[in-house]
Amino acid sequence: MDSVEQATLEIKQRVQELTQILQKASYQYYVLDAPTIADAVYDRFYHELQDLETRYPELISPDSPTQRVGERPASQFTSVKHNVPLYSLENAFGNDDLTAWEQRWRKVEPDITRSKYVCELKIDGSALALTYQNGLLVRGATRGDGVTGEEITQNVRAIRSIPLRLTLDNPPAVVEVRGEAFLPLDSFEQINREREQAGEALFANPRNAAAGTLRQLDARIVAQRKLDFYAYTLHIQNDESKKIRLSSQWEALEFLQKVGFRVNPERQLCPTIQDVHAYCDHWSIARTQLRYLTDGVVVKLNSFDLQERLGFTQKFPRWAIALKYPAEEAPTIVENISVNVGRTGAITPVAELRPVQLAGTTVSRATLHNRDRIAELDIRIGDTAIVRKAGEIIPEVVRVLPELRPAGAVPYPMPTHCPECGEALVKPDDEAVTRCINTSCPAILRGALTHWASRDAMDINGVGEKLVLQLVDQGLVHSVGDLYELTIEQLLTLERMGKKSAEKILQAIQESKKQPWSRVLYGLGIRHVGSVNAQVLTQSFPSVEQLAQATSATIAQVYGIGSEIAQSVHQWFQNHANQILIERLRSAGLQLVGDEETAPKAQTAITGKTFVVTGTLPTLKRDEAKALIQKAGGKVTDSVSKKTDYVVVGDDAGSKLEKARSLEISLLSEAELLQLLTAES
């Protein structure tokens, strides 16, 4: 073997080695919740593999970790027929229904004296069918009508908890795996925060968000939204040699976890129907503490032999049933319908309700999303409406009761002109949202100023909604640039404004000039650019000039930034008024260039560790603590989970502290955090 052949062989072996290392690390992180290598180490291996595959594309394998997210968005989805139909389940609504179900199947098989049941939480997400050929993922499809679904393989590959290859040395020819894709609550809340920050309509609940995510044409958006997946059944085909022998549902779940899937850890093997009752009763209350939403329990007979003997009715399998928990709903009166004008000009109709208690809180307003939703509901002022908290989070109107409608109630007409500035409203063909496009609209200006001064943006203490309202109404401020030219004399003309307060506000405005380039970009309020996207963009474009001069295609190449975000950013910087604003901010002394000092240093013991900060700290603001952690290479999230390494606790910590204790997560005081950061820096 000559030197060239030897080098080629070594490169091929290194690619295989890196692929195996990264696949194992992903399994340990996403399936077992037990990471074995730090994120920074994973990233180094990943980039090494990516570099080798770029230089030697013939070595790229379909199961390479670099192939999870396609570079090109799909143009459309095609319909595919499922190899094995996805059946619906009969519903039960209480323990009596479960007992009646047991009695029915026992009449079909009267000789069965004892049987076991497997109980699994019914995840509120979207069912997927995954096809593996010789152990390799070749197709992912939505449930559709159970017989035919949509082929979304590119998006399925972007879900980290779905293995690209089964961890089997000698896999069957074809394996069909079924499971539920879902959005964890912390991911759902983060997405909605991002959408709110970017001026987009909020998702009503995690189920709709998951379904909408799976139908994105750009798989990079799917990867960014961090869908999760629990497998719950499988079908093995073309296995003449019977390589895999599974006799029960419980064995199947254990096998699925062994070959690389996440399986719901709350599953339980129940000897009797009374044990099933106890399981369902327990989770009817305990489900509120889960990291995802569940709307019931799926109960299956454990024995595959018994399942086969029982077979199916015309609609359902006889050997399984779904207990559905009732959604908490309440009737109330629609006292008015109003519209809000957001900072991007989005017109959002809102139902103003007679206050009603729902899921432990008082609800008096519920979003109606857009004109299409109003038409679908046919909602009118005076109607009796059924309200629920969508996903137990956001109040929504489920339906109205037309039989209780008062005489004379008329359909609600969406306004044709902006209620704030009077300009004609526009509804783009490709959007469901109606917008005011007058950049001088007071509502848009107020929203832009409030967003600019918000804690996650420039964090200007004292510049809140009330002050912004006065500044705009009195014509003192017409853009965020005007804030940096305010004088104490101007502020003293405002209501209830004393000299000391005015001086503090001007000082806070001056202090905001120290905020980093990522916060400035986020504060500009560009559509679709939330705080996370702003950080991603500023890492790739360390100065405003670089970002302003970049094409939309160049911006879209940044991992996690889709074409829609890229086009929005590019268009914003092409606007002449925005170019003038950037120059004004530059002249005012704001940070439009990244600070290298804010980048993480060399790897430390907390590099890649996940922190949650909760409660009021003695000397640090939460954002200051988060910045220190991030600067040292750590991660900061808002929700406590099994993946959290440390929870930094201040006064009045609340439920996050309780959850951290229940999960036995390490707790740190502010002093201990500072000591840890100092020791590891």
- CB distance 649 to 672 below 8 Å: no
Inter-CA distances, 521 with 365, 530, 594, Å: 32, 9, 11
Residue 139 neighbours by CB under 8 Å, 6+ apart? 80, 130, 131, 151, 153
- CB distance 54 to 71 below 8 Å: no
Q: Is 418 annotated as a binding residue?
A: yes
- Per the listing, tokens 């309020």 go with 525
Q: Report how far Cα 539 is from the mean position of its chain's Cα atoms.
A: 22
Q: Is 143 annotated as a binding residue?
A: yes
Q: Is 421 annotated as a binding residue?
A: yes
- CB distance 501 to 487 below 8 Å: no
Q: Which amino acid is at 488?
A: I
Half-sphere exposure of 3 (CA within 13 A, CB side): 0
User: Please, what is the angle between helix 185-197 and helix 206-214, to 10°?
Assistant: 80
Alpha-carbon gap, residue 676 to 34, rounded angstroms: 22
- CB distance 234 to 168 below 8 Å: no
- CB distance 303 to 116 below 8 Å: yes
Secondary structure of 70-122 in HEC code, one letter for each residue = CCCCCCCCEEEECCCCCCCCCEECCHHHHHHHHHHHHHHCCCCCCCCEEEEEE
Closest CA to 226 of 123, 164, 155: 155
Tokens describing residue 267:
């599953």
State the CB neighbour count (10 A cutoff) for residue 311: 10
Whether 122 is catalytic is yes
Secondary structure of 507-547 in HEC code, one letter for each residue = HHHHHHHHCCHHHHHHHCCCCCCCHHHHHHHHHHCCEHHHH
Q: How far apart are the first and last CA of the chain?
A: 48
- CB distance 647 to 625 below 8 Å: no
Q: Is 40 annotated as a binding residue?
A: yes
Q: Is 563 annotated as a binding residue?
A: no
- CB distance 670 to 614 below 8 Å: no
Alpha-carbon gap, residue 252 to 231, rounded angstroms: 10
Alpha-carbon gap, residue 186 to 284, rounded angstroms: 21
Alpha-carbon gap, residue 481 to 582, rounded angstroms: 9
**Burial status of residue 313 (CB atoms within 10 A of its CB: 0-12, 13-18, 19 or more):** exposed
Q: Is 39 annotated as a binding residue?
A: yes
Q: Is 436 annotated as a binding residue?
A: no
- Per the listing, tokens 């339906």 go with 399
Inter-CA distances, 462 with 67, 471, 476, 485, Å: 48, 13, 16, 16
299: part of which helix (H) or strand (E)?
strand 294-301
**Parallel, antiparallel or unpaired: strands 646-649 and 610-614:** parallel
| CA–CA–CA angle 447, 448, 450 (5° rounding) | 65
Residue 543's φ and ψ, nearest 5 degrees, are -140, 160
Q: Is 156 annotated as a binding residue?
A: no
Q: Is 42 annotated as a binding residue?
A: yes
Q: Is 315 annotated as a binding residue?
A: no
Q: Is 241 annotated as a binding residue?
A: no
Q: Of residues 116, 122, 389, 659, which has the active-site annotation?
A: 122
Residue 195's φ and ψ, nearest 5 degrees, are -65, -40
Binding residues for Zn(2+): 418, 421, 441
Binding residues: 39-43, 88-89, 120, 143, 180, 300, 324, 418, 421, 441
List active site positions: 122
